[in-house]
Amino acid sequence: MIVGILKEIKSEENRVSMTPAGAEVMVHHGHTVLVEKNAGTGSGFLDEAYTRAGAEIVETPAAIYARADMVMHVKEPLPSEYGLIREGQIVFTYLHLAADEKLTKALVDSKAVCIAYETIQKPDGSLPLLTPMSEVAGRMAIQQGAKYLEMTQGGHGVLLGGVPGVDPGTVVVIGGGVVGTNAAKMACGLGAKVYILDMNLDRLRHLSDIMPANCFPLMSSPATLRKLVREADVVVGAVLVAGAKAPRLVTREMIKTMKRGSVLVDVAIDQGGCFETSHPTTHKDPTFVVDDVVHYCVANMPGAVAKTSTLALTNATLPYAVTLADKGWKKAMQDSREIALGANVIDGEITYKGVAEAFDMPYAGVEKFL
């Protein structure tokens, strides 16, 4: 198979979908790897490293789309790419379609085979290609929350860890999954008082066992949220419904009760966000203020730590990419339910129920194509 590695064009996105080491593995499996010129530069991987690994450097994205059987990105295709995607071509990347109707319709019109990193799912329900970026984003959420609490950044001047004789800051983490757990770990490590909310009692028991004494796992409810956001210095939105639009759990009315200069970090923003006042921002212009509350809603947070993120992402995606290249998408999906669950659009039809429901569009089970 001819596999194309595209340069990211989303604002301030420095990750790349495959390292030179990953390209070498692909070549050893007998595949041709095309890498767009300077695709890895932002992550510290020069074109020469890809060439040494056996890949071919290609000047333009159009040339890669024209030649490749499978194209790989980190972030979703942007409008300038819609017309380049070919019928039957495999598009393997983070798609987050439930938050983007225009992209969904473009991929339906392309009749490509669109496989989303974020909906590949193991039998235990875990999301192996979302996990590494969720770990990065969860840890970053606290770094960003702590930074924007500083008065020069618009915050109300609270040090999350406090100092002897002074109370620490209060962090509320909504969601006890991978993002939430990593955010809570970081906040606890800084010495903050941390509440982590979830609706799964077994998950709360697990968190109670593993988290330090300054972390308090609580059952999530509107009443609990209303109470805690008033006390919070930082609130992290870490709620995920796989492949579907994120639920809006924190309302405008709740935000109006928050302390002036407190900070919201919406890690769910690439799935639509879980705060009513959220809208996507970029690393160049990361925050905005609503009702005197600082909102940080960058949709590609891990892009700011591109080297760590690229290495972590390739560790996770490479085995699936190799399987798709070795077997072709149909045989790979027949042999692996995990990969079949990654199918979001095939031959002009939506094959992931959460995406179809988000836009009230027709749904076709992936089995139809296998």
Q: What are the C-alpha distances in Å from 101 to residues 49, 98, 277, 341, 351? A: 38, 7, 20, 20, 15
- Rounded Cα distance between 342 and 92, Å, is 9
Residues near 138 by beta carbon (within 8 Å), at least 6 away in sequence: 178, 179, 180, 181, 182, 183, 185, 186, 236, 238, 267
Six token digits for residue 197: 């909310």
The answer to whether the Cα torsion of 236, 144, 120, 361 is positive or negative is positive
Q: Are 325 and 311 in contact (CB under 8 A)?
A: no
3-class SS of residue 3: strand
- Rounded Cα distance between 40 and 7, Å, is 7
Residues near 214 by beta carbon (within 8 Å), at least 6 away in sequence: 168, 188, 191, 192, 193, 194
Q: Which helix (H) or strand (E) holds 5?
A: strand 2-5
For the chain, counts of helices (H) and of strands (E): 14, 15
Q: Are 43 and 12 in contact (CB under 8 A)?
A: no
Q: Which residues are catalytic?
A: 96
Q: Are 345 and 115 in contact (CB under 8 A)?
A: no
3-class SS of residue 172: strand
